[in-house]
């Protein structure tokens, strides 16, 4: 009997690994549909409106993204862990999560619009208010994705994501083509998110039978106390990514924000695989941690990193090379975005790896560790921006992202217990060197 135990353990590990990758593939398909439709609608608007006008929308979108992560408050990440480890309470936990998020979004949206009115006047308040219409849709879409991730049921979500993506793209592209004003585009974005959320609600309602009565697993305050470290991490992570936009708006104006916004949206499309694999890895790690302990979870992480390191590096190189075609796609007005995209491309490989490292630490319940690292990341971003943004323009904002993501990789690799010879350490060193060289060459060319 004792001799059979290693075989059983090995078989269980293979089953989990197979489930991780098969669900990741299905999740990738769904995320590609959702993100490409979103990025496609926004990039079409960028082309239709032009850099100066789209810069206003891009600035409001940065604030909208902060509103999204603030109102989410880490509750969806908490939902994944609970639903993966306690499937019987999934319906109750989902209802509670949705109701909490809707209330949080309402409060934070009102505060954000008031702040926008104070800082940017009536136009800024209108833009953010139009976008904020979509927050209920964001709440539903996030929890739907969380439940599909926890259940390793990404395949069942694909049809809903496709329908939601078509609705979003149609609304945004139609508004950009027909009206071509910042407010109309922002309103179309908000309504697109709202419509997408209504579609995604169908998945949750059918899979979990939300109308059936069941016992609430914890109080609302207990759920918030458990989720707040993850919410704080999301806020800090989004803040550091948006600090560059704020600095560009201050030093360089809305046209520079638009140039950087286009580059970031292009690069963001190639992170779809990261979110797919990381989501599945989180759910699987949570189960492995509960059943077999941290050593087995670390072995799973190391195996995944070995498999993805070289392919994601190749993707980063490909994006840097393909950046030459941006003016052909979006117009010659976006020629300055070429250098920015080339610098930002070197953040892609480490962003991918950081998603896996974060999923590993989350799956092991080490939320406070990731929070401490996020605070350090914010400091790295502020330092790099202070040094290079005033004279470097949009490529400097891209360099700040590269430096921060590389620092994040090193810190999370250490927290995960990975040795200095691990693929994550090597990848971060290569990307940091390449990002610095690309930035220096771009400035010399200018």
pLDDT in tens, 121-150: 787 788 888 888 888 988 988 888 888 887
Query: Reduced to 3 DSSP states, what percent helix, strand and coil does the chain have, rounded to the nearest 5?
Result: 90, 0, 10
Please tell me what DSSP assigns to residue 212: S
pLDDT given for residue 382 in this prediction:
93
pTM as predicted: 0.67
Please tell me what DSSP assigns to residue 87: G
Q: Is the dihedral of CA 298, 301, 303, 309 positive or negative?
A: negative
- Nearest Cα neighbor of 230 from 333, 366, 87, 350 is 366
For 124-151, b/e burial (b = at least 16 CB within 10 A) is bbbbbbbbbbbbbbbbbbbbbbbbbbbb
Q: Is the dihedral of CA 356, 146, 97, 112 positive or negative?
A: positive
pLDDT given for residue 376 in this prediction:
93
Number of H helices, E strands in the chain: 17, 0
- Nearest Cα neighbor of 91 from 232, 236, 206, 260 is 206
Q: What are the angstrom distances between the C-alpha of 122 and each of 66, 118, 129, 240, 445?
A: 20, 8, 10, 27, 40
Cβ proximity of 85 and 287 under 8 Å: yes
Task: Pick the most confident of 55-64, 211-220, 340-349.
Answer: 340-349
pLDDT given for residue 215 in this prediction:
53
pLDDT digits (tens, 9 = 90+) for 152-181: 777 788 888 888 888 888 888 888 778 778
Tokens 């190391």 correspond to: 302
pLDDT given for residue 127 in this prediction:
84
pLDDT given for residue 435 in this prediction:
94
- Nearest Cα neighbor of 192 from 160, 163, 167, 162 is 167
Q: How confident is the model at residue 433 (pLDDT cuts 50, 70, 90)?
A: very high
- Nearest Cα neighbor of 135 from 115, 109, 161 is 109
Largest CA distance in the chain: 74
- How far is 49 from 286, CA to CA, in rounded Å? 45
Kindly state the percentage of the chain with pLDDT values over 70: 87
pLDDT given for residue 62 in this prediction:
78
pLDDT given for residue 276 in this prediction:
65
Cβ proximity of 224 and 73 under 8 Å: yes
Residue 35 or 204, more confident: 204
Please check the confidence at residue 445 and state whether its pLDDT lies above 80. Answer: no
Query: Cβ contacts of residue 92 below 8 Å, gap of 6+?
Result: 214, 215, 216, 217
State the distance between the two ends of the chain, measured CA to CA, in whole angstroms.
71
Task: Pick the most confident of 108-112, 208-212, 251-255, 303-307.
Answer: 108-112
Question: Which tokens in the block code for residue 42?
Answer: 């926004």
Cβ proximity of 409 and 353 under 8 Å: yes
- How far is 177 from 393, CA to CA, in rounded Å? 30
| Structural domains counted in the chain | 1
pLDDT given for residue 387 in this prediction:
94
Residue 392 or 29, more confident: 392
pLDDT given for residue 404 in this prediction:
94
Q: Is the dihedral of CA 75, 158, 298, 370 positive or negative?
A: negative
pLDDT digits (tens, 9 = 90+) for 375-391: 999 999 999 999 999 99
Q: Where are the beta strands (DSSP E) in 122-230?
A: none
Question: Which tokens in the block code for residue 150?
Answer: 């926890």
What residues make up the domain containing 324? 4-445
Mean pLDDT of 215-240: 74
Query: Cβ contacts of residue 294 below 8 Å, gap of 6+?
Result: 364
Please check the confidence at residue 19 and state whether its pLDDT lies above 70. Answer: no
Residue 16 or 101, more confident: 101
pLDDT given for residue 234 in this prediction:
76
Question: Which tokens in the block code for residue 379?
Answer: 């400091």
Question: Which tokens in the block code for residue 368?
Answer: 């406070």
């Amino acid at each position: 009997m004792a001799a059979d135990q290693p075989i059983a353990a090995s078989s269980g590990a293979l089953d989990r690994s197979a489930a991780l990758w098969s669900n990741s593939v299905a999740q990738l398909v769904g995320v590609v549909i959702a993100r490409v439709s979103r990025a496609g609608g926004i990039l079409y608007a960028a082309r239709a409106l032009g850099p100066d006008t789209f810069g206003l929308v891009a600035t409001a979108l940065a604030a909208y993204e902060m509103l999204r992560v603030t109102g989410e408050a880490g509750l969806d990440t908490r939902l994944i862990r609970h639903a993966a480890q306690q499937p019987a309470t999934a319906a109750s936990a989902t209802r509670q999560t949705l109701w909490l998020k809707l209330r949080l979004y309402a409060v934070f949206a009102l505060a954000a619009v008031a702040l926008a009115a104070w800082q940017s006047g009536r136009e800024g308040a209108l833009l953010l208010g139009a976008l904020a219409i979509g927050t209920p849709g964001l709440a539903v879409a996030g929890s739907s994705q969380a439940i599909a991730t926890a259940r390793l049921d990404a395949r069942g979500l694909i049809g809903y994501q496709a329908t939601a993506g078509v609705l979003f793209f149609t609304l945004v592209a139609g508004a950009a083509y027909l009206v071509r004003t910042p407010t109309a585009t922002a309103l179309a974005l908000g309504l697109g998110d709202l419509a997408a959320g209504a579609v995604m609600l169908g998945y949750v309602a059918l899979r979990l039978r939300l109308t059936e009565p069941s016992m609430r697993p914890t109080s609302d305050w207990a759920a918030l106390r458990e989720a707040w470290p993850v919410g704080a991490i999301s806020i800090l992570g989004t803040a550091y990514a948006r600090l560059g936009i704020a600095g560009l708006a201050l030093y360089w104006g809305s046209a520079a924000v638009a140039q950087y916004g286009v580059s970031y949206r292009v690069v963001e499309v190639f992170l779809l695989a990261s979110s797919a694999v990381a989501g599945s890895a989180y759910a699987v790690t949570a189960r492995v941690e509960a059943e077999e302990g941290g050593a087995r979870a670390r072995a799973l992480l190391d195996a995944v990193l070995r498999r993805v390191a070289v392919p994601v590096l190749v993707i980063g190189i490909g994006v840097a090379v393909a950046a030459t075609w941006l003016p052909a796609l979006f117009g010659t007005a976006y020629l300055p975005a070429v250098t920015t995209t080339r610098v930002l491309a070197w953040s892609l490989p480490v962003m991918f790896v950081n998603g896996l490292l974060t999923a590993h630490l989350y799956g092991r319940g080490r939320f406070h560790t990731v929070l401490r690292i996020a605070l350090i990341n914010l400091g790295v971003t502020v330092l790099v921006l202070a040094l290079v943004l005033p004279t470097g323009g949009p490529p400097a904002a891209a360099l700040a992202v590269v430096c921060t993501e590389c620092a994040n990789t090193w810190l999370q690799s250490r927290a995960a217990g990975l040795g200095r010879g691990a693929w994550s350490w090597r990848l971060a060193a290569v990307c940091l060197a390449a990002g610095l060289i690309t930035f220096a060459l771009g400035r010399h060319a200018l």
